[in-house]
Amino acid sequence: MGLLGVPRQSYERGLPLMSETKERPLCQRLGWMAGIWLASVTVLGIVAYVIRLWLKG
């Protein structure tokens, strides 16, 4: 039976979403999280600055 008319794939076919390898170290996972957070805060600051310049101009 398929959900919304889409047939299910068996475990042998398709690409796995998660690799079968060992989980990465905690410090590496936290580093990625901090990097993504820093990038998002930086982009938000840039967008806010551009909007501020646009409204003043």
pTM attached to this predicted model? 0.58
Give the whole-angstrom CA distance, residue 31 versus residue 38.
10
> How far is residue 45's CA from residue 38's CA, in Å, rounded to a whole number?
11
**CA 47: distance to chain centroid?**
20
CA 49 vs CA 6, 20, 25, 31: distances in Å:
46, 44, 36, 27
Q: What is the pLDDT of residue 57?
A: 80
Per-residue confidence in pLDDT tens, the chain, 57 aa: 555 666 665 555 566 666 677 888 999 999 999 999 999 999 999 999 999 999 998
Q: Identify the bridge partners of residue 3 per DSSP, sorted by sequence position.
A: 6
